[in-house]
A and B are shown apart, each in its own frame.
Chain A
């Protein structure tokens, strides 16, 4: 089944989890939105988004989204 071009599957991890919107698995975006713009909209400080993965591959704040992507965002994790 083709994925909806106007939504993404969005996952926030660790301290960023509280920013997860209720419709995270089909989160609506405008085609061409950058990850940085997405984070602004969800009130996540870009400095906290240390690791950005798009479809399992490392991206960055300037990566653009077309819809249909899986997006994972991590804060820095350093505990042992």
Chain B
């Protein structure tokens, strides 16, 4: 591939415009990116990265721009995220991360959609009842952006497969519904030296935290792993209504994006962001 030629083609096809503050801005459409990907026989995602590197913003990312710089957007397109659990939290997390422009996904969930998932799991529709959650998440990402790289595994995470499933990723996202399996994921992430974002919901309450490999992690939230007798928590009593799931998934996604673009000062390491919609409580608690 001739990168100089590609860069000049990108610049030729770019449209000149101005942003809301009146600053000049160059953008490129999806159709032009796709045309160049075909012409140069390269993945569309790489053409998007080349456009960004040449100061041309794919229109898809235009409204990300004041929050994410061009370098941030390039970093997101190159990032590898493993999402474990594609139910309520996971379904909303992949939707947000795919639209933000995360380039590579591994999606892990052995479950299938059932009717009682319809209340809160964005990927669960009547048409998808009985279908794989991981497979449905992959289809959804491809609907949003077919240039993103997606690998789905219709398997439950276990001690035997956890490490091989998450190796090589930049962040793992804990969207599980079992406290016991959360600990399995945490152990694998710590051994693989991968940061993990963990979230949980019950009724109108939920919490989010971020765990780096050297952090004390889930034991600060759930107590010692050996003392966990029940894999589930208050959600067994309170259920999981959709509004809590969406809010917590949004906060969990914000953490993932902050890790990927390197904003460590805003992370919830050793802290727990808690919300309770029953009282409109939003608070960050210190875990250490």
* Chain A bound to chain B: yes
Q: Does B220 contact A (CB under 8 A)?
A: yes
Q: Does B18 contact A (CB under 8 A)?
A: no
Q: Does A78 contact B (CB under 8 A)?
A: yes
Would you call the interface of chain A mostly helix, strand, loop, or mixed? mixed
Q: Is the CB of B286 within 8 A of A57?
A: yes
Would you call the interface of chain B mostly helix, strand, loop, or mixed? mixed
CB closest residue in chain A, given B281: A11
Q: Does B80 contact A (CB under 8 A)?
A: no
Q: Is the CB of B202 within 8 A of A57?
A: no
Instruction: Count chain B residues whose beta carbon lies closer than 8 angstroms to a beta carbon of A.
Output: 45
The segment from B23-31, B40-48, B87-95 found at the interface with A is B87-95
Q: Does A14 contact B (CB under 8 A)?
A: yes
Alpha-carbon distance A50/B205, docked complex (angstroms): 14
Q: Which residues of B contact A78 (CB under 8 A)?
A: 176-179, 182, 200, 202, 222, 231-235
Q: How many A-B residue contacts, CB cutoff 8 Å?
A: 98
Q: Is the CB of A15 within 8 A of B237?
A: yes
Q: B264-288 vs A: 1/0 string, CB under 8 Å? A: 0000000010101011010111111
Alpha-carbon distance A77/B274, docked complex (angstroms): 11
User: B285: which of A17, A50, A53, A75 is its contact (CB, 8 Å)?
Assistant: A53
14 pairs across A/B with beta carbons < 8 Å? A15-B203, A56-B285, A56-B286, A76-B230, A77-B202, A78-B182, A78-B233, A79-B88, A79-B200, A79-B235, A80-B85, A80-B88, A80-B200, A80-B240
Please give 20 more A-B residue pairs, beta carbons under 8 A apart, in addition to A58-B285, A78-B178, A80-B201: A14-B204, A14-B205, A14-B276, A50-B221, A50-B222, A50-B223, A50-B233, A51-B221, A51-B272, A56-B285, A56-B286, A72-B283, A74-B205, A74-B207, A74-B274, A77-B201, A78-B200, A79-B201, A79-B240, A80-B85
